[in-house]
């Protein structure tokens, strides 16, 4: 049974090493029947290419806030209206801080702020960044606004440390 059949999932990918996990996440979402569109930050594109995620999602990947090819340059609004849910995975400390502040300085923040559908975050960062009081305050504020959180997991991190901060496995 495809539990996400007919659902539109907007996957936001931010600039952390866990961005590579987004490829498998797209595959799993599509296997459950979802239509997936991807928004990548500039940092995410340093870890994994838009072409990879386009091939896996079957849809163009969106990267620019002011995309002149988008209808009336309002691509962020069209994407926000299209989504039945937004999942940001990985969600970096920087992304969550900008979102908590209400900044719309890139496409992913703008779409997330404009979206009235449920938003879920999958945090991924070094354990010290996760444990930082500023990060914890931002996460609590975002959850108080109704955003959902998946993780992070406890385990070995790319930096070699062990602790909370790993993105959950797709």
Catalytic residues, which ones?
159
CA–CA separation, 127 and 49 (whole Å): 26
CA 50 and chain centroid, separation: 14
Q: Residue 72 corresponds to which tokens in the numbers above? A: 């009336």
What are the CA-CA distances from residue 108 to residues 7, 41, 93, 127, 133 (Å)?
A: 19, 7, 14, 24, 24
Q: What's the CA dihedral at 32, 58, 78, 12 to 10 degrees?
A: 70
Residues 6+ apart with CB under 8 A from 142: 96, 99, 100, 121, 149
């Amino acid at each position: 049974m495809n539990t996400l059949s007919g659902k539109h999932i907007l996957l936001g990918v931010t600039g952390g090493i866990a961005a590579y996990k987004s490829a498998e996440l797209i595959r799993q979402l599509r296997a459950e029947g979802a239509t997936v569109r991807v928004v990548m930050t500039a940092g995410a594109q340093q870890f994994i290419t838009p072409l990879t995620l386009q091939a896996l999602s079957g849809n163009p990947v969106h990267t620019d806030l002011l995309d002149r090819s988008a209808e009336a340059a309002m691509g962020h609004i069209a994407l926000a209206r299209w989504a039945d849910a937004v999942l940001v995975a990985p969600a970096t400390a920087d992304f969550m801080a900008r979102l908590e502040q209400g900044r719309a300085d890139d496409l992913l923040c703008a779409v997330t702020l404009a979206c009235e559908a449920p938003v879920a975050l999958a945090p991924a960062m070094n354990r010290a960044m996760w444990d930082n009081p500023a990060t914890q305050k931002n996460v609590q504020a975002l959850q108080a606004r109704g955003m959902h959180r998946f993780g992070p997991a406890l385990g070995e991190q790319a930096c070699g440390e062990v602790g909370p901060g790993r993105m959950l496995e797709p």
